[in-house]
Amino acid sequence: MSNSDELFNRAQAVIPNGIYGHYGGAHLRHSPNFFESSAGSRFTDVDGNTFIDWMCAYGPMILGYNHPVVEQAAARQAAKGGTVSLASPVMVQLAETLVELVQGAEWALFGKNGADATGLAVMVSKAATGRRKIIKIDGGYHGTAPWMQAQGSPGTTANDQESVITIAWNDLEALKSVVAADGPDIACFISSPYHHPVFASNVLPADGYWTSAAQLCAEAGILTILDDVRTGFRIDLAGSHAAYGFQPDLMCFGKAIANGHPISALLGTDSVRHGAEATFYTGTQFFNAVPMAAALATLGELQAIDAASVITNLGDRLNKGLIDVAASHGHDLAVSGVPGMPFYQINGDHGHDVLKQWVTECGRLGAYFLDFHNNFVSAAHTNTDLDETWAIADKAFGLLPA
Ligand SMILES: Cc1ncc(COP(=O)(O)O)c(C=O)c1O
């Protein structure tokens, strides 16, 4: 038995489902379950197999695993202290940096996970407006708090989602009608900058969607919350709203903000600062200075290399190369989403069986993709990674049954 299988058996005895949450499906995909080490664009599993990682830990890895500048900054802060009885100067520096970097941001609060930021954003919007309802996009993901989950999810009750109104992505008419029906009761409209569901095409905003949506909300006194947790810093370093031409009241970041160190941020404009000041929200580890130092170093590096452009360019090349490879085997590979976060499908592949098999073969040969979720490109991926990945992709298509 492989080390990975042995660990998974042990895990099943002491951890519900063995591995839970979004990491839980790996064993179903015949891919490794446990890593031993990671560096740059690659990780090595507990059986000694190394993979070019096109999932980037589901987004946090943006500069490369074990990036020296980030790790040194974290180690320097760790030597001074992490969670101490007082806040750290680095918290102020990080807030100043984000306010400077992110379009329209005038203050920042910190948490650990993306859901801390999205959950706090909604509380702030309710505190600022005195209203109780939330508009969200059908299939949009904001974390695992009960209100964020689909109706009927185990562990939630109907009450948890009672104040959530769900509308389809890119549907301005739907937004108009819920605003017309319920406007004075609605605190906020929360959405990612584009629609990136699992198991379905990712869909960019229609021309003018965001400007109209933000305007419609502003006219009705509804706050706009941008959930940039997954997309943050891969589309535009000033926030994805800078790319799509609108200004949210609240902006949520997580994942890539500290290149894998645990920290998230809620940023806001001064018009909602009173809501942030009134809301009690905290956590034992929220003030830990080590991830804050890592975030400062990450943001500095992202700016220094213009990471969003690097990632978009690399993603473009990766995707074009894969489309060509697929075509040479008679497959029509469709890529949706932004170039640096590609979601792959094969046209005509009903049931996704061909894609699933191709992704599995790519994994066996050393390129780690997912078939049901968008993939991620980092600034650490290299031309060698691209060449090796295209060669692996070619071989993998060749191994599929005709
Ligand atoms: C768009 C979006 N929002 C929020 C979250 C929640 O972040 P976390 O899992 O760090 O709580 C995620 C996580 O995947 C996400 O993709």
- Of 116, 142, 233, the residue with max ligand 1 atoms within 8 A of its CB, to mutate for a pocket test, comes to 142
pLDDT, residue 28, reads 60
pLDDT digits (tens, 9 = 90+) for 133-185: 999 999 999 999 999 998 899 999 999 999 999 999 999 999 999 999 999 99
* Domains detected in the chain: 3-65+306-399 (3.90.1150.10), 68-304 (3.40.640.10)
Q: What region does 48 belong to: left with phi over 0, alpha with psi -120 to 50, or beta?
A: left
pLDDT at 174: 98
> For residue 24, what pLDDT is reported?
87
166: part of which helix (H) or strand (E)? strand 164-167
Other CB atoms within a 10 A radius of the CB of residue 67 amount to 24
Instruction: Among 120, 202, 231, 255, say which to mutate for ligand 1: greatest number of ligand atoms within 8 Å of CB.
Output: 255
Distance 369 CA to ligand 1 centre (A): 19
- Residue 27 confidence (pLDDT): 58
Burial class (CB in 10 A: 0-12, 13-18, 19+), 61: buried
Q: Report the pLDDT value the prediction gives residue 282, as an integer from 0 to 100.
A: 96
Does ligand 1 lie within 6 Å of residue 141's CB atom?
Answer: yes
pTM: 0.97
Q: How far is CA 166 from the centre of its chain?
A: 21
Ligand 1 probe mutation, 56, 58, 141, 251, most atoms within 8 A of CB: 141
C-beta 227 within 6 A of ligand 1: yes
Residues in CB range of 71: below 8 A, 6 or more apart? 294
Put the strands of the sheet holding 42-45 in their side by side order. 35-39, 42-45, 50-53, 367-368
Kindly give the distance from the C-alpha atom of residue 229 to the centroid of ligand 1, in angstroms, as a whole number.
Answer: 6
Residue 42, classed as helix, strand or coil, is strand
**What integer pLDDT is reported at residue 30 of this predicted model?**
67
Kindly give the distance from the C-alpha atom of residue 209 to the centroid of ligand 1, in angstroms, as a whole number. 23
Q: Is residue 376 within 6 Å of ligand 1 at its C-beta?
A: no
End-to-end CA distance of the chain: 31
Q: Spell out, as residue ranges, where the chain has pLDDT lower than 50.
A: none
Residue 270's CB is within 10 A of a number of other CB atoms, namely 12
